Structure 1
Amino acid sequence: MRERRTVQEARRAREFEAFLAGAGGRLLGTATLLTAETAEDNPRARRLLTHALAHTYACWDRLRGEDPYNHARECLAVRFARGTWHRYGVLPFGRARARPAGPLAVLSAQHRLVVVLRLHEGVAEEQVAALLGLPADRIHLIVDRATTVLLHPPRGPAPARVSAKAATS
């Protein structure tokens, strides 16, 4: 009995390693986009992915034909959506959080989540709506607004006014 269990655990570990070798990079890219970090410096994305993969590994035997990539992506999205770090600008103990510098940093957390799932991952509006508990129309509206912000980013502050004397000198 013990040998059988050992063989099953080894098979499970090999299957998960093969899954991770194929999907790990893409899932890390997705997590990096969600957290709006840069690809070179993404500790929150790595932590988010680690938790999602740990949950996927824990559920591995119960997946029974379900796509493990979809399961890991859902875990990633749900953990991101439920996380408190993106709702508050302050870390525990009063430490201020650095402003994200990734390509989607101009978007709110909800907009990033919907855009990444819809446009980067190609998940259907109805599936995103079901995952987040929102109506499909709302998902469509969020995608429209987010793409508008990405295509036409908000302007920075107006330049300082230069006096006539300084301009002629």
Structure 2
Amino acid sequence: MREQRGGPGAERAHRAREFDAFVAGAAGRLLHAATLLTAETRTRNPHAQALLTDAFAHTYAVWDRLRDEDPYDLTRRDLAARFARSAWRHRGGRGGVLGALPPQERLVLVLRLYEGIAEEQVAALLGLPEARVRAVCARSVAALRAASRKDGAPGAPSGRDGLSRETAA
């Protein structure tokens, strides 16, 4: 038998289509952020994929309760929280551009520079004072610049695995 229009089946299908459209638009950027966080390479990033899958699962679970909340922001916050809880697993770099940095520095740098989140919001998300977020970000950028000069590169990291917004799109 066919389902009635507007019935529970139709609502589930509509919900699934909305969520699929959200994932199609946000997955690439969020996967790149997760890859930067886990310090994996763009081609080998199983930990980043697992983090993102779990964050999307959480977003899907609360999808019906989202009213005025941005699903991208919710998923990004969940991704950051999951990474922070499992940061001990990501201490050593796996070849990614941010592999030389400790996990907390990677998290602050990705949220501030790649995602463009204000210091106040990053501080609130991570439970840190704003001054600490500012200091961690400055120290991380300085460390990346020093490492890039040491390797003979003329400037900060760039390219597909870099932090530049233009390269991620």
Shorter-chain TM-score range: 0.7 to 0.9
- 2:44 is equivalent to residue 41 of structure 1: yes
**Any stretches of 5+ residues in structure 2 without a counterpart?**
152-169
Counterpart among 71, 74, 78 of residue 74 in structure 2:
71
- 2:19 is equivalent to residue 16 of structure 1: yes
Give 1:145-164 correspondences, 5 Å limit: 145-153=139-147
Q: Is the 8 A contact 1:86 1:109 kept in 2?
A: no
| Corresponding residue SS for 1:114 | helix
2:36 and 2:80 map into 1 onto residues whose CA distance is 11
**Any stretches of 5+ residues in structure 1 without a counterpart?**
90-98, 157-169
TM-score scaled to structure 2, two decimals?
0.81
Task: Name the residue aligned to 2:83.
Answer: 80
Count of matched residue positions in the alignment of Structure 1 and Structure 2: 146
Task: Name the residue aligned to 1:162.
Answer: none
Q: Which amino acid aligns with 1:68?
A: P
1:150 and 1:16 map into 2 onto residues whose CA distance is 37
Larger radius of gyration: 1
TM-score scaled to structure 1, two decimals?
0.81
> What CA RMSD, in Å, does the superposition of the two structures yield over aligned residues?
1.8
Give 1:26-65 correspondences, 5 Å limit: 26-65=29-68
1:19 and 1:109 map into 2 onto residues whose CA distance is 28
Q: Is the 8 A contact 2:91 2:102 kept in 1?
A: no
2:55 and 2:22 map into 1 onto residues whose CA distance is 13
Q: Is the 8 A contact 1:126 1:136 kept in 2?
A: yes
Question: Identity rate of aligned residues, in percent?
Answer: 55
